[in-house]
Amino acid sequence: MKKEDLRIVYMGTPEFAVEPLRCLVEGGYNIVGVITMPDKPAGRGHKVQFSPVKQYALEHDLPLLQPERLKDEAFVEALRAWNADLQIVVAFRMLPEVVWNMPRLGTFNLHASLLPQYRGAAPINWAVINGDTETGITTFFLKHEIDTGEVIQQVRVPIADTDNVGIVHDKLMMLGGRLVTETVDAILADTVKSVPQEEMAIVGELRPAPKIFKDTCRIDWNQPVKRIYDFIRGLSPYPAAWTELVQSDGTAVVLKIFETEKIEHLHESAPGTLQTDGKTYIRIAGTDGWIGVRALQLPGKKRLKTDELLRGFKLTGECRVH
C-alpha cells in the first residue's frame, strides 16, 4: 500500500501535536480526519479558543471531530465512517478500547519521554525538574494501561544544564514530526519489530510524570541549590515556578521566577532569605548556596529581568520568601 492510500486519523490538541500533523500533511500522507478537544473559553473575556490542532485542521480543510465523550455512540459511529487503517495520537487524552482498537493496523502514540520512563501527562517538565541529562521521544502501540504499549521507535535527546522546559519541548516537537512519519513508513513497509516495555533495559528507578497543578509549582527553598535551579527551569516558561515574597512590613506578593543561576557559596542564612542591592541583583538562600534570580514576574505585570523589575519595585528592609 502507498502512503497516499493509507487512511489515517490523527488525534491531538496542543502545539506539540501540530508539528507531526504538519509533517504528515506536507509529506503527502492521507489524513482522512482529525480529532481534538472541544473548544473552551479562555482569558478574562472568556473568548472561545480553538486548540492549535483545530486551527491547523481548519486552515488545511481537514475533516474534524471534537467529541465531549470518546465513548459517545454518535462519535464512535462518525469515527468508524472514516474507515481509518491507522490512528495516530499525540498529546491528546486516554482512549477507550472501542476507539484505539478500531483500525486494522492499530493506533500508535507519540510520547515525549524515553518510555517506560515518565509515563503520564507532563514528561518533559519532570525530566528537567529531576535534573536529567537526557530525554527523548517514543512511538508505541496503544493498549489498555496508559503509556504501557509495545515500543516501536525511540530518539534520544540531550538536556543541557541551561535548557528550560520550553527549549526541550521545542527540540522534541521538531523531532516528533520526523519520528511520526518514520513510524508510519515502517508500519507501511511491515518492518516494525515492537518491543514490550517490560523487556527494555532501565537505568535507575522508574519515574512518573503526573499532571502539574499550581501547588506543584511552589518553590521549596529548603533544598540544595541544584534542586531549586532544576525545579525552576523545569517549569519555565510555563506554567512557571512561584514563591511568596514577604517584606519587612508584612505585605506579601506572589513572584513567578523564570530564570536563575546557581551561586555556590556556603552561608549561615536560613533557606528563603532574600538579599538584594535594590538595583541589580536578587539572590535567595537554599541550603547550600544561593539562587541568583535573573527573570521574574509580579502579578498582573509582564516578565522582566531582575534589574528592570527593581527600577520600579522597591524591596525594603529584610525580605523572605516561602
Q: Report the first-to-last Cα separation within the chain, whole angstroms.
A: 61
End residue of a domain, out of 174, 199, 224: 199
| Domain extent for 267 | 215-321
CB 65 within 8 A of CB 78: yes
- Which tens digits make up the pLDDT trace of 27-84? 999 999 999 999 987 766 778 889 999 999 999 999 999 999 999 999 999 999 999 9
Q: Are residues 279 and 186 in the same domain?
A: no
Using an 8 Å Cβ cutoff, are 33 and 52 in contact?
no
Q: Tell me what the mean pLDDT of segment 7-35 comes to.
A: 98
Tell whether 62 and 158 lie within a shared domain. yes
**CATH number of the domain encompassing residue 129:** 3.40.50.170
Tell me what pLDDT residue 259 has. 98
Angle at 117 between CA 115 and CA 120, to 5 degrees: 90
* CA geometry: angle 306, 312, 313, nearest 5 deg: 70
Domain boundary among 140, 167, 199: 199
Number of H helices, E strands in the chain: 8, 16
Q: Binding residue per annotation — 114? A: yes
- Band the pLDDT of 316: cuts 50, 70, 90: low
Q: Is 86 annotated as a binding residue?
A: no
**283/125 Cα distance (integer angstroms):** 24
Distances (CA, A) of 116 to 102, 130, 146: 25, 16, 11
Task: State yes or no: 210 annotated in a binding site.
Answer: no
- Tell me whether residue 21 is annotated as binding: no
pTM: 0.94
What grid cell was written down for 4?
A: 497516499
pLDDT for 87-120, tens place per residue? 999 999 999 999 999 999 999 999 999 999 999 9
The residues near 314 (Cβ < 8 Å, ≥ 6 apart) are: 278
Q: Are 296 and 302 in contact (CB under 8 A)?
A: no
- Any idea which of 68-77, 139-148, 289-298 has the lowest mean pLDDT? 139-148
Q: 109 forms bridges with which residues in the sheet?
A: 89, 140
For residues 221 and 131, state if they share a domain.
Answer: no
Whether residues 20 and 108 share a domain: the answer is yes
- Asked if residue 245 and residue 134 are part of one domain, the reply reads no
Cα 43 from Cα 31, distance rounded (Å): 32
**CB distance 155 to 140 below 8 Å:** no
